[in-house]
Amino acid sequence: MNAAPARKLIPRHALEAFSASLLEAGGFRPDYARQTAELLVWANLRGADSHGVLRIPRYIEMAELGIVKGDAKPALAREFGAIAVIDGDRAPGAAGMALAADKAVGLAGKFGIGLCSIMRTSHAGAVGYFAERVAKAGMIGIVMSASKPLMVYHGSRGEGVSTNPLSIAAPGNNRDRPILLDMSTAAVALGKVMAARDAGKPIPSDWGVDTNGVATTDPAQVKAVLPMAGPKGSGLSLMIEVLVSLLGGNPLISVALKEKRDAGFNGLVIAIDPRAFGLDIPFEDEIEQLAGAIRSLSPAEGVDQVRLPGERGFDLAEKRIEDGIPIAAGTLARLAAEAAKRGIAIPLQFK
């Protein structure tokens, strides 16, 4: 394959503004466009280019196909005690999941715990964004999302489950830097395959398989990604489908496999208020004690320092806010093509 093209540094606000203008021109109402752009750039800031602005052309295509409704009107479908279910009306994932996160936080403020499912939304992007949103409210956030089969089920030849992600965030004394776990149940997020394609790079052979179920190093040939840790990854994904989709009343995997039908995307946000536990020592202080204990561990050979989940992303985001966000030439070219198609002026920073 060709050598990786150069990347260009783009200022955060310029990238957010251009992304929002593209999404709005592609059919997203203005507030949905801004929310989606903020989520995508949040991922780029943290080095998760797989969930960043490279997704914009596909998001616009989804709106054109009706998979996403740019003017969706999500509505509360059911509420019982600390549990709520929202009908997402195929809202953009950023807007729908933010709505679910805020509802979960509101319920937790009343009951000590809040659980909000959102059915029939769209691609949720980097779900750590929503777990962080809950943590900034001083609560533990647990976020999951579910979609159609995209990942090999361990022991099978092809797609059987999705790459269903899981994120958990716990706030310390600095609300802007919680402990933040954000992981896919796949060996790699599908977006990383897309990022490798945009960057013109090969991928490791244990990332995905082609249409014949054979491992490939060509990102353009990937039909399905592989689960992390074999049966552990596919089993965890399956149980996320149970918690997110079946409990919410919108099964995705069974209808895709048996009926060949795409029932959209679902999400789940759980917020837990530590104050409900009546702890003698403030929870945030305990988090700081735990963080300090982990950081004090002796680094392994070749490791500069021991980091907490999410810490590398926070450090990188601070640097990229100062220096700019590196975007692959392939991604910039596709964004420019979308802009030209829709009569959007391309900022000088992108040329």
Q: Which pLDDT belongs to residue 262?
A: 94
Residue with structure tokens 């680094």? 299
Q: What is the mean pLDDT of residues 62-84?
A: 97
Judge whether 330 lies within some domain: yes
Judge whether 338 lies within some domain: yes
pLDDT (tens digit per residue) in 130-151:
999 999 999 999 999 999 999 9
> Which range marks the domain in which residue 88 is found?
7-350
pLDDT higher than 60, residue 3: no
Judge whether 66 lies within some domain: yes
- The mean predicted confidence, pLDDT, of the chain is 95
Distance CA 150, CA 162 (A): 5
Q: What is the mean pLDDT of residues 105-128?
A: 98
Q: What is the mean pLDDT of residues 26-43?
A: 98
Q: Which pLDDT belongs to residue 13?
A: 96
Confirm whether 123 is a catalytic residue: yes
CATH no. for residue 265? 3.30.1370.60
pLDDT confidence of 5, banded at 50, 70, 90? low
Residue with structure tokens 């052979």? 205
Coil/strand/helix, residue 35: helix
Q: What is the mean pLDDT of residues 171-195?
A: 91
Q: Which pLDDT belongs to residue 6?
A: 75
pLDDT (tens digit per residue) in 249-306:
999 999 999 999 999 999 999 999 999 999 999 999 999 999 999 999 999 999 999 9
pLDDT higher than 70, residue 62: yes
Of residues 211 and 115, more confidence is placed in 115
Q: Which pLDDT belongs to residue 44?
A: 98
Per cent of the chain over pLDDT 90 is: 88
Coil/strand/helix, residue 116: strand
Q: 208-209 and 151-152: which strand pairing? A: unpaired
Tally of domains within the chain: 1
Judge whether 2 lies within some domain: no
**Structure tokens belonging to residue 139:** 């609560």
Distance CA 25, CA 343 (A): 9
Judge whether 1 lies within some domain: no
CA proximity to 267, closest of 54, 111, 74: 74
